[in-house]
Amino acid sequence: MVYFFSEEERKYLLKKLIPGSREKGIAEELRGWNWETTELSPPHEIFLTVWEVSGKYCETNRDVYLRHVQKVSVPPSEEMVAGRIYHQAVAELYPTAKRLIYTQGLDVCTNLADVLMERMPEAVLEAEQQMAHVGGTESATKEVVENLRKLWYFEVSRIVSSIYTYLGKYRYLSDDSLINHALPFVLEHKLDGRYLGLSSNLSADAINMGGMLICDLKTGKKRDFHRLSVAGYALVYESLYEVPINIGCTAYLSFPKNHPTPHIERDFFIISDEVRQWFIEERDEMQDMIFYDKDPGKCMSAGSCRYREYCR
Ligand code: SF4
């Protein structure tokens, strides 16, 4: 499972990052629950998604201006669809395993891997359809399907291995207890971000309910602004439940050539004052731009941007 941590990572979290976050402390005015009386309160009644505020792929934010002010809509790129397919695979398998245990009981665990593998052909078919929908080339589709298969095998084996660890350890275990031990994340967790000027239908990739840690899955190259997504979800979570979220994790999923499995690199970090502040500044700038209808100007090089024909 892309969100399962290794023993070294767990140690790093427990011995270094969590104590570090306590020592460092987070300014009270940057805790989501203080949204009403601080700079966290949004300047306008405009609701943005976390990926809009945090996705700084356009250097001037003109993509957000085009979408919100000019009402421009462009289809997703092949790369985006591929990322969506991998996200969907992770988001389907994990809750499916939980559902099977709750509905069929622990007996299903004996051959859980086989049961989960039965679902792969359907996921492959769906992936092919999604790639065809955006005009994906034959070779691109082939690569995505191959990656999806690798990811599917990988996820199934990680899920089953985690479940077997606990079944092997405890003799009498309820289905609920097993799931809480072995599958402690909630995936695609819905959050209402309106207190912070964000969408009412946000979806955080993964939240570890025990450790109060938020994870975000990325399938592209590592960028410094990626930490903003987790900061955004953490602020929203704090605004809703008034519990602190101090640690974030960005999981980078890639498929190296000639490698039998996906590769996952996890970036753990303290959701510091700086990253919270940065998120809020980005949100304010975008809301002002939309509210006052201010065209932020064009970038120097459009590259393969999906909006380039609107920015000539
Ligand atoms: S073409 Fe340039 S300015 Fe326009 S949306 Fe894309 S990156 Fe931004």
Range scoring the smallest mean pLDDT among 3-7, 30-34, 109-113: 3-7
Mean pLDDT (whole number) for 135-140: 90
Structural domain count, the chain: 1
For ligand 1, is residue 65 a contact (CB within 6 Å)?
no
Calculate how far, in angstroms, residue 310's C-alpha sits from the geometric centre of ligand 1: 8
Q: How confident is the model at residue 209 (pLDDT cuts 50, 70, 90)?
A: low
For ligand 1, is residue 63 a contact (CB within 6 Å)?
yes
Mean pLDDT (whole number) for 204-214: 83
23 vs 89, 243, 278, CA distance in Å?
38, 18, 21
> What is the pairing mode between strands 263-270 and 185-191?
unpaired
Position 270 in a domain: yes
CATH number, domain containing residue 123:
3.90.320
Average pLDDT, the chain: 94
Mean pLDDT (whole number) for 145-153: 97
Position 2 in a domain: no
Q: How confident is the model at residue 184 (pLDDT cuts 50, 70, 90)?
A: very high
Mean pLDDT (whole number) for 57-81: 94
* Statement: residue 16 has pLDDT above 80: yes
* Statement: residue 169 has pLDDT above 70: yes
Position 99 in a domain: yes
Position 1 in a domain: no
Q: How confident is the model at residue 4 (pLDDT cuts 50, 70, 90)?
A: confident
Q: Whose CA is nearest to atom 5 of ligand 1?
A: 63
Mean pLDDT (whole number) for 116-139: 94
Position 56 in a domain: yes
Positive or negative: CA dihedral 8, 9, 15, 16: positive
Which comes out higher in pLDDT, residue 212 or 279?
279
Mean pLDDT (whole number) for 257-277: 95
State the DSSP string of the chain.
-TTPPPHHHHHHIIIIIHHHHHHH---GGGSGGGTTTSTTS-SSS--B-HHHHH-TTSTT-HHHHHHHTS----PPPHHHHHHHHHHHHHHHHHHHHHHHHHHH-GGGGGGHHHHHHTTHHHHHHHHHHHHHHTT--HHHHHHHHHHHHHHHHHHHHHHHHHHHHHHHH-SS--HHHHHHHH--EEEEEEE--GGGTB-TTEEEEEEETTTTEEEEEE-S---GGGHHHHHHHHHHHHHHH-----EEEEEEEE--TT-SS-EEEEEEEE--HHHHHHHHHHHHHHHHHHHTT------S--TT-TTGGG--
Q: Which domain holds residue 225?
A: 7-299+305-309
What six digits make up the tokens of 119? Answer: 């679902």
Position 285 in a domain: yes
Claim: this prediction has a pTM higher than 0.85: yes
Q: How confident is the model at residue 211 (pLDDT cuts 50, 70, 90)?
A: low
Q: Choose the residue to mutate in 225, 298, 301, 310 for probing ligand 1, maximizing ligand atoms within 8 Å of C-beta.
A: 298
Kindly state the percentage of the chain with pLDDT values over 90: 86
pLDDT at 212: 80
Q: How confident is the model at residue 312 (pLDDT cuts 50, 70, 90)?
A: confident
Position 208 in a domain: yes
The CA distance from 183 to 95, in Å, is 9
pLDDT at 74: 94
